[in-house]
Structure 1
């Protein structure tokens, strides 16, 4: 299994958003859900339209039971995510019980994990993201930017359903970054 990384540069993060937004609203929404929710790809792909849209406007919260842990998860729909949902729904012509990220292949099936990986890698390549990125990179991106925004690792660890803060630090690549900064600070 390849190790993936978060997108650590805001300009690159915005560039990926812009690229996907201009290319395909469904793929843009998938990326937005991924970077604003800390969900795993299996949970993102299982979302139905009625998870995010009440028939007239975006939902205030998204609620589900995580596939991997079975734990209940609820998170608010951020203003940026609301915009992405509105843009997608303006072009949507399916049913509320359909998968949100419906594939063009088959009847009411979500896109595949493989398609999601390929789509994300293509977007990252197009905007110059050099580090390895994949579907799990969206979850890591959320955690990384939550930390950079000053959110306590305690809360980030809870949101990611990690057992410890040390696990969260490793997961986000913060241990190596912290060690690098220590060497730079000592500067003998």
Structure 2
């Protein structure tokens, strides 16, 4: 499995959002939820309309079994309300195409990966996949709050350096510490 990076450049991040918004509302909302919650793609794909109607999105993580809750920010709330306006509570947020009357299901992780990967490629970004959304969330929160403990809890990490490396800041933090160092 290839190691993916967060999307650090705010201009590229906005370009990807606009690209996905023009391309397909479902893809756009998928990306917004990913970069706004820090949830894993396996948890995002299982979301239904009823899960995003309140002030928070609460999930039981598929990987860890832990319950996590994230506030829906105002900008995400506006976009979600538009997106779900004609959907029922039981609908998946990211439905796959229903073929031959099969039971409704969400898109697959592979489809989500292709959506994100193709959007990133449009803007010359490499080392981007679905996990980049989670890492981008962490990167943005760290830059805003500088609270590594908050992110460690959110990501279930035991060490600061693991979280810093995860969001792509470990090397940068080391470099900053040594930049003006003198003997």
Same fold (TM over 0.5): yes
- Counting only pairs closer than 5 Å after superposition, residues 11-160 of structure 1 correspond to structure 2 as 11-53=11-53, 59-90=54-85, 92=86, 94-106=87-99, 107-128=103-124, 130-160=125-155
What secondary structure does 2:94 align onto?
Answer: coil
CA contact (8 A) 2:38 2:137 kept: yes
Find runs of 4+ consecutive structure 1 residues off by over 4 angstroms.
Answer: none
Could you tell me which runs of 5 or more consecutive residues in structure 2 were left unpaired when the two chains were aligned.
none
Could you tell me which runs of 5 or more consecutive residues in structure 1 were left unpaired when the two chains were aligned.
54-58
CA contact (8 A) 2:4 2:129 kept: yes
Residue in 2 aligned with 1:56? Answer: none
Deviation of 1:80 after TM superposition, in Å, equals 1.5
What secondary structure does 1:102 align onto?
Answer: coil
Question: TM-score if structure 1 supplies the norm length?
Answer: 0.89
Question: TM-score if structure 2 supplies the norm length?
Answer: 0.91
CA contact (8 A) 1:61 1:75 kept: yes
What secondary structure does 1:149 align onto?
Answer: helix
Which range is displaced more, 119-128 or 133-142? 119-128
Cα deviation digits, residues 28-80 of structure 1 (max 9, x gap): 00000000101001100111111013xxxxx2111121111111111111111
CA contact (8 A) 1:29 1:85 kept: yes
Deviation of 1:184 after TM superposition, in Å, equals 3.9
